[in-house]
Chains A and B, each alone.
Chain A
Amino acid sequence: MTLRTQRRSRLLSLFTVLAMILAACGGGDGDATTTAAAGGDTTPPATGDEGGLTAMFPDGVVRIGIAGEVPYGYEGEDGEATGEAPELARAILGELGIDTMDATVVDFGALIPGLLADQYDMIAAGMFINPERAEQVIFSDPDYCGATAFAVAEGNPKNLTDFQSVVDSDAVLGVLGGAVEETYAIESGIPDGQISRLGDTPSLVDALVAGRIDAFALTEVTVIAQVGEMDGFEAAPGFIPVIDGEEQLGCGAFAFNDQEFRDIFNAKLKEFQAEGRVLEIIEPFGFTEAAVETAAGLTVEDLAG
């Protein structure tokens, strides 16, 4: 063996080792991500369910993406995914023959990129339908509609009631990067210096407590869940944002990358709505009958522009 070929074979063996390491890493995926079972029951789904998802997901496992936002979708203290969207998804998927959900928690802004990269099969995070997002993902029809609200210091000293009131004051408004409130804030004409973009809800709460922002804007349900019980802070009354004279009704839905999956899921969601079964599932998370009823009367086309 000449020196040259010897050297080459050694290099080759190094690359082989490398490939083996990468292959070994791949195997760890299931343990590494946050896993949440739909229930204790892991028996295979009953065969022969018409219109079910068992052909599409033979393992009976659907992977969902959530953003870690109370009360929409988060990992509960027992390590299982819970919240408005995961619980509703669990009930709907259960009737379609899926009994296990694998949840991945990512930053809100990373939800859509993760779906497009096939990191999970659907987003169950209560994501609002809007035209920009509808260009990238396929939404189901909405399952709730909600108002926006500000979290402010007790007594609302700067009198912040809606986005326009922030423009008229010197207040700094915190928003979740990539969330609709950021768009509302910009389109309402709030100067960039008065908008503070943060990565997750706890950071908004910490920033408000530390006085770095005067208020933060999220859906009314979230704001009440975050500061409703907190001393020294309060949830200002909810409002429907108005941009260019048009009311921006915020309605959340599930998002998909696969048309067929979305259609099967959506048909079952419509069934749940017709039978009035959505409210009982999401009521414990602070959603009202009005929120569910408004959504039941709308389709994704009404909201995607």
Chain B
Amino acid sequence: MLNANQFQSFLDGAWLTVQVFLLAALLGTILSMIFGIMGLSENRFWRALARVYVEVARGASAIVLIFFAAFAIPIILGIPPRIFAAAITALGVNMGGYGAEVVRTGIQSVPRGQTEASIALNLTVTDRLRHIVLPQAVVVMIPPYGSLSIEVMKGTALVSLVGLADLTNRAQNLRIQRPVIEAAGGTAPSSVVIFGTALVMYFLMSQVIALFYRWLERRVGGRWYKERG
């Protein structure tokens, strides 16, 4: 089993995982909204731009994006790398690629008649989006967006490869220390215990995210149904 110090190190790692996830998800959500709505623009240029973003962000491997942001961009720009910012940007950009499609298809799932009716009522484009289309679209977006968020949270494990002390990094570090612990006469936890603990911690975090989206679904969905009467 893990001793108190080792468990504390895992908790510290989990906290960093939470931070990386929250910031990446925030950036990813902003990018999803921007490019998802842009993908439905009547202007061909904006539509093409959104398409390019989605294909590039979704098509790039997350780990390669992280390495690129951490190692290549500092060389291109001639600046010292900021690993934490690089990792979050890479994960957020990657998430935005998937999220933009969730947003776009969510909006498209709102019946055409709703849009036509709001045009007939002479609402502006922004009012139409804000008061008519988005409230209905969000209800459809939440479940796939919840799955995407869990996927991104698990994907944060990739940041351990560029030296961030996240949960996976802490687990690996404990494996590395085995000969040192044993040379000092202690018993080192086996890989079964180390990765077993990490698995449970990731699972608990994913359950918190799942619960949050279930709550959101009930809340937002409920309000919409009530408003619709």
Interfacial residues, chain A to chain B (CB-CB below 8 A): 3, 6-7, 11, 14, 17-18, 21-22, 25-26, 28-29, 32-34, 65, 68-71, 74-77, 79, 104-107, 110, 113-114, 116-119, 200-202, 205-206, 225-226, 229
- 17 A-B pairs within 8 Å (CB atoms) are namely A3-B125, A21-B23, A26-B82, A33-B83, A65-B163, A68-B172, A70-B179, A71-B179, A76-B177, A77-B181, A105-B163, A113-B67, A117-B71, A119-B70, A119-B80, A202-B191, A225-B179
Interface residues on B, range: 35 or more
Nearest 9 A/B pairs, CB to CB: A202-B175, A25-B85, A104-B163, A117-B71, A32-B84, A68-B176, A26-B85, A106-B163, A117-B74
* Residues in B neighbouring A200, C-beta threshold 8 A: 172, 175-176
Known: A202-B176, A226-B179. A3 touches B124 (CB 8 A): yes
Q: Which of A11, A110, A119 contacts B161 (CB 8 A)?
A: A110
Q: Which chain B residues (63-102) contact chain A, with CB distance < 8 Å?
A: 67, 70-72, 74-75, 79-85, 88-89
Report Cα–Cα, A22/B75, bound state, in Å.
19
Looking across the interface, which residue of chain A has its beta carbon closest to that of B125? A3
In the complex, the number of residue pairs spanning A and B with C-beta atoms less than 8 Å apart equals: 126
* Residues in B neighbouring A14, C-beta threshold 8 A: 30, 34
* Residues in B neighbouring A11, C-beta threshold 8 A: 34
* Residues in A neighbouring B79, C-beta threshold 8 A: 118
* Residues in B neighbouring A74, C-beta threshold 8 A: 176-177, 180
Known: A3-B124, A22-B88, A70-B176. 9 other contacts (CB 8 A): A18-B27, A29-B84, A105-B163, A105-B173, A116-B75, A117-B81, A118-B81, A202-B176, A225-B183
Looking across the interface, which residue of chain B has its beta carbon closest to that of A225? B179
Q: Which of A26, A65, A113, A202 contacts B178 (CB 8 A)?
A: A202
Interface contact A70-B180, CB-CB below 8 Å: yes
